[in-house]
Amino acid sequence: MNEKMLKLGNNRSIIRELFEFSKQKKAELGDDKVFDFSLGNPSVPPADCVNETLIDLLKNEDPCYVHGYTSAPGDVEVRNAIANDLNSRYGTSYDASMIYMTCGAAASLCITIRALIENSTDEILAVAPFFPEYRVFAEAAGATFKVVPADLKSFEINFDELVKIINPNTKGIIINSPNNPSGVVYSKNSLMKLAELLSEKQKEYNHPIYIICDEPYREIAYDNIEVPHIPSLYNNTIICYSYSKSLSLPGERIGYILTPNTLDDYKNIYAACLGAGRAYGYVCAPSIFQKLIAKCANQTSNMSAYAENRDILYNGLTKIGFECVYPQGAFYLFVKSPEKDSMSFMEKAKKYNLIIVPSNSFGVDGYVRLSYCVSKDTIVNSLPAFAELMKEYK
């Protein structure tokens, strides 16, 4: 068997590990005694459009159409509906020929990276902190994965480090904003600076450098903060999108890749994505959810509960003395560990039935991530436990 795959299969991600631990603890102690902040599983129900459309499809459409194969890149009506939604929001001119339906952001990323990588010297960069699976996806696609160390002051893109790392082998850089795990939304200024740097380097190296824009949290942004549409700032951008978070559908596995017409050679990039999707066996994303998206592309779940959770958790923890990054989007709070070793902090937190994720796998040491897509009661009831935990450090 393949040693690399065996290793991946045997070493579960720490997030999954903690989630399993929490399930075990809940069975022992009761659900309300364990405060599980491990997993980014949406806690608000899908928009009404989701169940209404599903019922309508099941009741009123031909089952062979509803459950049947679609075209390999997805139903053309669905891709048109998505393109129209994007055009109405961003003033763009996208169409169905630029959209490829996928099984969520994970598949979008795997396909996109595979479509771009030519050989193992090709490098994919990620800005820390980052979603840990990027390393798995990039390496499985045959790329060399490199980390741009975090800017620990702002958690925006660390340009001092990026200019040191970028080189003629750089094929692409993954950008995730609103960010998992920091909650930071990259400012338009940062993104324009990135566009300027990459444009210079494209000329210098005489080949394209792609921004791979992973944006499953695009619609989860607070206080009317702008989440810029990156293809409008930089030509060689590919969007990897998912409805897992915006419509609360993570288990249904539906998303898309957008290869916009701003890309140099966008028709061939799209064709390479078709090829990569085919090579991975990812053709024809779940049929019924494609048809649902055609009706619900412009909808989101009600995000107000996340905003309320953010305020309660951020205010509660900073009051006790924890240092936290102020989240502008997504549903994660990045908290500085009161001791250097965040693994040890995570273990201490377990004694108070607080399940939190150490930051090492996100490419930063000394922090923990709390997913606040949980009930408001979980957050409110966890605060005394956090206060007890903090006493250990005073």
Please report, as ranges, the residues that interact with ligand PLP according to CB under 6 A: 40, 104-106, 131, 176, 180, 214, 216, 242, 244, 250, 255
Shortest reach from residue 19's CB to ligand PLP, in Å: 12
- Asked if 255 and 33 count as a contact pair (C-beta separation under 8 A), the reply is no
Shortest reach from residue 91's CB to ligand PLP, in Å: 26
Q: Is the peptide bond before 231 cis (omega within 30 degrees of 0)?
A: no
Query: What's 221's DSSP letter?
Result: B
Q: Which is nearer to ligand PLP, 106 or 157 (CB)?
A: 106
Shortest reach from residue 216's CB to ligand PLP, in Å: 5
Q: Which long-range contacts (CB under 8 A, 24 or more apart) does 147-155 make?
A: 147/363, 148/173, 149/363, 150/363, 150/364, 152/364, 154/184, 155/129, 155/179, 155/182, 155/184, 155/325, 155/334
Q: Which is nearer to ligand PLP, 104 or 316 (CB)?
A: 104
Shortest reach from residue 202's CB to ligand PLP, in Å: 25
- Asked if 180 and 220 count as a contact pair (C-beta separation under 8 A), the reply is no
Helix (H) or strand (E) holding 4: helix 3-10
Q: Which is nearer to ligand PLP, 75 or 214 (CB)?
A: 214
Shortest reach from residue 358's CB to ligand PLP, in Å: 17
**What token pair was written down for 65?**
């159409």
Q: Which is nearer to ligand PLP, 148 or 389 (CB)?
A: 148
Query: What's 75's DSSP letter?
Result: -
Report DSSP letters for 315-337, one per residue.
Answer: HHHHHHT--B---SBTTEEEEE-
Q: Which is nearer to ligand PLP, 228 or 353 (CB)?
A: 228
Report DSSP letters for 106-122, one per residue.
Answer: HHHHHHHHHHH--STT-
- Asked if 68 and 280 count as a contact pair (C-beta separation under 8 A), the reply is no
Shortest reach from residue 241's CB to ligand PLP, in Å: 9
Q: Which is nearer to ligand PLP, 255 or 358 (CB)?
A: 255
Q: Is the peptide bond before 286 cis (omega within 30 degrees of 0)?
A: no
Shortest reach from residue 181's CB to ligand PLP, in Å: 8
Q: Which is nearer to ligand PLP, 37 or 386 (CB)?
A: 37
Residue nearest ligand PLP, Cβ-based: 104
Report DSSP letters for 179-197, one per residue.
Answer: -TTT-----HHHHHHHHHH
